[in-house]
Amino acid sequence: MRATEAQFETQLERLRTELLGQTSPRRIDRIERHWQEYRASLAEVDSLMEQGNLRRAAARLQGPTMAAMDAAQDELKALIAETRAEADRLSTRVDDEYLKTRNGTLSAVAVGLIATLLAVFWTARFVSQPLLRISSAMQRLTRGEDDIEIPHLSQREDEIGILSRAAESFRGKLVETRLLAHDLDLERLRLEASGAQLRATVHNMPLGLAMFDHQGKLVIWNAAFEAIWVIPENWLHPDQPQESVLAEMARLTPKEQRAQFAQTVQARLAEEGAEARCEVWRLTDERSISGMFQPTPDGWMLICEDITERVTVEERIRKLARNDSLTGLHNRLSFQEAIEAALQDSDAENPAAIMFIDLDRFKSVNDTLGHPVGDALLRQVAARLRWLVRENDVVARLGGDEFAIIQYAGPQPEAALSLGDRIIAQLSSPFEIDGHIVQIGGSVGVALAPLHGDTPEDVQKHADLALYAVKEAGKGHCRVFDPEMNARQQELHGLEQALRHALKSDGFTLNYQPLIDLETGRVRGAEALLRWRHPTKGPLSPAEFVPLAEELGLIQPLGLKVLDMACQAAMQWPEDMTISVNLSPLQFHRYDVAQDVLNALDRSGLPP
């Protein structure tokens, strides 16, 4: 393109210095001015396209740019016409000179036949023939025969030489002019191709695009815009008012929002600043469309995108963050927020009940029937709990087999105890899962907000204490938190710390109850009875600390300690004496008791 521009400007300069007519210099000036206007306008088009301002680029290309190009072509055609007219004038001049010379020759005949013959010969050879050849060449040039040979008479200093040099110059300028016209035609084709490329770019954009001028008239749109808003083909047209386009778009929005649709768009456009403004619409066909309003120097444009899939994924992610993926209930995080809301909305006169629910025998179902059945059971439990509560109550799964409910309505604690009884009854009813009849139960602990705590942590802690009290009392019923449970919990915590310390020290002793042979009356052995020497409570029987050890997972080290103590004592007894040791049933379920006994015998030195 730059080479073409340089060649064009060089040829213009040559035309300026070798003009044939008197009006040609002014014509050349106008061609050059239009050419410079064209180059400046084309540079602005390129700049606008680089900035992504497609609408202004298209308008500039179709307007000032093509106008400058057309003006240059018109002036160039006029120059060609003037040049041809000048050629005709020169041809006429040649004919006139020929006639003038011939007449002069005839008048000289009287001088003498010889002089006449010589004159005729000289005229024919040096005047008539060159003039005829020049005239013929000029006529052929005017018909477009650029490749003809001009008689080489430019060395002559007479009129013939002048005409010859003028003919040669004319042919050169005519060829250059036609080359310029050809270059302009090529440039026009390039501009038309650029315009077509611009239109194709807009048409093939994956996003919907509509551009409006400063009067709100539609200028450009593409097929994606029509597809997104389900606009019939050929319904849109240039200069269509934006109100009409917005009304067509609004028909896909919910009926109650249609009146505000155009107002929302107008409000966005009225906001100050040149930055883009965004809006998201949920359409009646369940699609989500984002719209970006972008001001332009002479109007605005709307870029639309169908973001339904993205919105669906985001909603799923948000739901997973706040809901249990297995049951669809609220999860622990969401339940925590619900408790905070309950504390704000409730008071001592109208408390909300926070209910913790534990499934009894759920682990046995998981272990015997497998996790798929266990998961199905949890889903059925969730369905039964939802069926039991009111619409505004909150049901959550906190994890594992732990569920929770926030009950808002009703006199408390009576309403919570009544709901707790119904929950236990429902959980105790058989569940049918994959051909299996599953029987479980449930335990419920209740705390009242804000009576039993003014923070979510305190309320949950007290509901958990109530649930623990239910389990300690045998499971399968519902209890409301009592402040005495706190004292009991503190006592259990102290007992736990002391129990752990006793396992690391010598805090346990064995008492032996003799086993007597009734036939002989002799002592045949003894039963080892474990006692804990508590630092403040004194001796404690197994009934007071073994359940706690089982709950804390300390029953195994405690059982091994008892075996070691019994084996060490047996080493001091007669060989015919036996010792029996009581072990927890959990040790038989979870551990290899036989190997534990063999290891204890080996450590003490007793034979198996």
Give the DSSP letter string of 238-294: TT-BHHHHHHHHHTTS-GGGHHHHHHHHHHHHHSSSSS-EEEEEE-TTS-EEEEEEE
Burial class (CB in 10 A: 0-12, 13-18, 19+), 320: exposed
The whole-angstrom separation of Cα 347 and Cα 252 is 46
**CA 380 – CA 368 distance, rounded (Å):** 18
Token look-up 């309320």 returns 459
* Upper half-sphere CA count for residue 553 (Cβ side, 13 Å): 0
- DSSP three-state, residue 32: helix
Of 532, 524, 538, 537, residue with least CA distance to 561: 532
Helices vs. strands in the chain: H and E counts, helices first: 21, 16
Q: How far apart are CA 238 and CA 300, in angstroms?
A: 15
CA distance 396 to 382: 8
Query: Does residue 326 come out as left (phi exceeding 0), alpha (psi in the -120 to 50 range) or beta?
Result: alpha
Q: What DSSP state is assigned to residue 607?
A: -
Q: What CA–CA distance (Å, rounded) separates 566 from 589?
A: 22
- Give the pairing of strands 208-213 and 218-221: antiparallel
104, with CB counted inside 10 A (0-12, 13-18, 19+), is exposed
Looking at the chain, how many residues does it have? 608
Residue labelled with tokens 């029509």: 226
| Residue 441, strand partner residues | 360
Write out the H or E segment, with its range, that includes residue 381. helix 371-388
401 catalytically annotated: yes
Q: Residue 554: CB partners within 8 Å, gap ≥ 6?
A: 499, 500, 503, 548
E strands in 173-239: 208-213, 218-221
User: What contacts 595, CB < 8 A, 6 or more positions away?
Assistant: none
Amino acid at 334: S
> Using CA atoms, how far apart are residues 291 and 353, in angstroms rounded to an integer?
46
* C-alpha distances out from residue 70 to 29, 65, 362, Å: 16, 9, 88
| Catalytic annotation, pick one of 213, 393, 401, 464 | 401
Peptide bond into 547 cis (omega under 30): no
Rounded Cα gap, residues 580 and 105, in angstroms: 165
Gap between the Cα atoms of 498 and 411, Å rounded: 42
Distance from C-alpha of 332 to C-alpha of 304, rounded to nearest angstrom: 38
CA distance 243 to 264: 12
Q: Are 512 and 526 in contact (CB under 8 A)?
A: yes
Active site residues: 401
